[in-house]
Structure 1
């Protein structure tokens, strides 16, 4: 290597070390694991995974989902964390730094902006849905679902959606808690909150699984989740599993890149990413073991769709002994899971503002909060005041949902794997990944260059209706 190349490399490394010192780092690998797992674990695990499993036949779908985590989730998660740690910037800054180091086009940084914007837009409506869960906490603890009928449960959920004031109140409470945590910074805010919330989430979830184990429908739930019946698996089911594996790990939203930028040197990216994926998948499966015994034990339908959590499950809670206590704790757990995701969705925007405009973290947080609150009103009113006003046949909420999940996330994820696998050179990536096993690196390198991009293209084509 020439003297000029050595000098440039030393300058880049010095810059990375300086940025790490200025921005702050996680205090340990364990804290990063909590943070990344918290980002991945959210409504997608406890709300979406059980109902799409119910809709797609159970065990065979779970098996396909696990395979997709290996093919898409873990390789892309490793790539995003690597970009963040190597760049020591917000997503756009990190991608620009790596592109500059590899001699690639500076326009790759656009992917970082898209990722941060995607997370920001998702947060604007995610906080509204999290507000639904928060609204159910006092309702369950207060015994409002005791002996409730299916018709009454559905009517109650519909009445909540029709009341904009209630949705604004609970959505604002979720957003305020998110802003408070993020505003305190990496160590005082993110780290301290996650040290409490993630263990609390696992304790509550394990407690609910233990309760469900004696509810009467546990063995049927285990069979439903873990005994595959491939006759129930369709081509659409396979693509749904592929898509959910992609979205469940908070990929292509800027969160993992940003969290990776706070990761200390010497921490194994591969091992930590694998631990995060295992923890995220474990939570999804435990959620199924907590929910489906209650559904089967009370003669309810597992394939009842998105209403499984807010319509079907409260009926079960209303019919069982100590149901209101168990139900209240369940929705407390759901709120905690939502908060661990909302703080990760906000962090990329805060990192970008503080680094790009040299503003204080508090000012950046307040500014983002104001914009998010206004955007959230559009989602709130989509269920009531603006429900008749559509664009391209969709409400404001539906448009944001489809824009982010059907377009921005698949395209962003595809761009990231192409950037890592094809725009960066192998030497740089090998050095940044710092994997001890050459064989494991070659396997990951093959996945990130060929298999993962092809899988993401399949997801994207399915989501836009071309498959």
Structure 2
């Protein structure tokens, strides 16, 4: 058995968890989800799901991870019965698939950082993005990014991940706040804030079947839930930590940064000539920050410098999150098979890189759609649902016992958490998974038909 590592400090754990949460989910996915699903209408539903579903499920993953001191597969083997023992594989598979395309998107971010430094943002953002993805160059930037991720994770918990996040997360926060302050001075800021911060309840009521699953998927993606990260990170914790208190700090920081990214993105869009009607038309989906935002940067004074700072912030956030996802799969090899960290990191990192090559080389984003629909729409929610059912209804004693460590009196709060987990959380997850499955089937079928044809 390989001796297990631990966090050196509480701050290291919190920053690592925040760094995992504050990645492309906040800076890449969040703005385009807001733009695609009604602005403030999406924001309201997203914030509600973070509080009512995201936080309770985060506590589930924390309790399972710390109780078992294992990766998701090992954790469920230890506490599971019968088929429940296999739940952990859903988390590991989700993390593997997500990082394989996440790294490709991070490679695009590196390319756009270079565009900004060179002052090369194009007025036609769609044409520039179309020339950026697909072919050999994205494969190379995908390789560069994965090499950086492998290097950090290979150094271990204290000397690699903890040291890196202590540098990266404060930098992300400082850069994001600085960009938000600058964005507030732009001429289109008032109109942008109205779009972003004034919800139309009629929009929510009319489009809830689209907004609910999108907001739930975003909540899970941004908090790194359903992919085993929080189980794995909590497994390196001591028993004196108050999980609920740490969880509130993590959720609060992650949500604040995501919210602030909106205060950056939408004033830049509106001031750069990209209005409400154009947001979903020219830049929805994967290309949002690469099409809409880069096009806005091209129309702003000092847009190249501003864009370079923005995309550099995205790159740092992507790295802080990617190292957490790789750690999930690496910890499986270390815990379950006794493989040393160095070889385990190299083996898994290389496998993930190879799995992402079709996404990087693809000029039509077809494989990105397949990977994202499978992982984000199905696996994340499925893993969270199964684990919530198991801990909420079968292993509630384990959850309450572990949550009570480091707390003077858990009392009614613990019982409330269990019953929120048992009923409203599970109901929401079942509804979301059903809607997601329908959407994912439609999207994946269409893509695969096109590839075969």
Give the alignment's TM-score, normalised by structure 1.
Answer: 0.88
1:14: which partner in 2? none
Provide the C-alpha distance between the structure 1 equivalents of 2:308 and 2:358, rounded to a whole number of angstroms. 28
1:421 aligns with 2:395: no
Provide the C-alpha distance between the structure 1 equivalents of 2:266 and 2:273, rounded to a whole number of angstroms. 10
2:445: which partner in 1? none
2:170: which partner in 1? 199
The Cα offsets for residues 254-310 of structure 1, whole Å up to 9 and x where unpaired, read as 111000101122111111111111111111110000010111112213433123300
1:114 aligns with 2:72: no
Return the offset for 1:135.
0.7
The Cα offsets for residues 325-357 of structure 1, whole Å up to 9 and x where unpaired, read as 111010000011111111111111111111222
1:157: which partner in 2? 129
Q: Which of 272, 294, 299 is residue 268 of structure 2 equivalent to?
A: 294
2:449: which partner in 1? none
Contact 2:23 2:320 in 1 (8 A): yes
1:354 aligns with 2:328: no
2:34: which partner in 1? 53
The Cα offsets for residues 95-129 of structure 1, whole Å up to 9 and x where unpaired, read as 22233xxxxx1532311122112101111111001
Q: How many residues align structurally?
A: 428
Larger Rg: 1
1:102: which partner in 2? none
2:446: which partner in 1? none
Return the offset for 1:217.
2.0
The Cα offsets for residues 408-435 of structure 1, whole Å up to 9 and x where unpaired, read as 22211111101111121x3332211115
1:186: which partner in 2? 157
Q: Which of 47, 51, 73 is residue 70 of structure 1 equivalent to?
A: 51
List gaps (5 residues or longer) in structure 2.
Answer: 441-453
Secondary structure class of the residue paired with 1:465: helix
Provide the C-alpha distance between the structure 2 equivalents of 1:38 and 1:399, rounded to a whole number of angstroms. 26
Return the offset for 1:191.
0.3
Secondary structure class of the residue paired with 1:253: coil
Q: Which of 261, 272, 287 is residue 246 of structure 2 equivalent to?
A: 272
1:175 aligns with 2:146: yes
Provide the C-alpha distance between the structure 2 equivalents of 1:237 and 1:117, rounded to a whole number of angstroms. 26
Provide the C-alpha distance between the structure 1 equivalents of 2:133 and 2:9, rounded to a whole number of angstroms. 42
1:318: which partner in 2? 298
Contact 1:116 1:349 in 2 (8 A): yes
Over aligned residue pairs, what C-alpha RMSD do you find? 1.8
Q: Which of 76, 96, 101 is residue 125 of structure 1 equivalent to?
A: 101
Contact 1:29 1:264 in 2 (8 A): no
Return the offset for 1:466.
7.9
Contact 1:130 1:174 in 2 (8 A): yes
Return the offset for 1:215.
1.1
* Equivalences for residues 8-407 of structure 1 within 5 A: 22-99=3-80, 105-145=81-121, 148-150=122-124, 153-162=125-134, 164-233=135-204, 234-235=207-208, 236-302=210-276, 303-304=279-280, 305-306=284-285, 307-383=287-363, 395-407=366-378
Return the offset for 1:226.
2.0
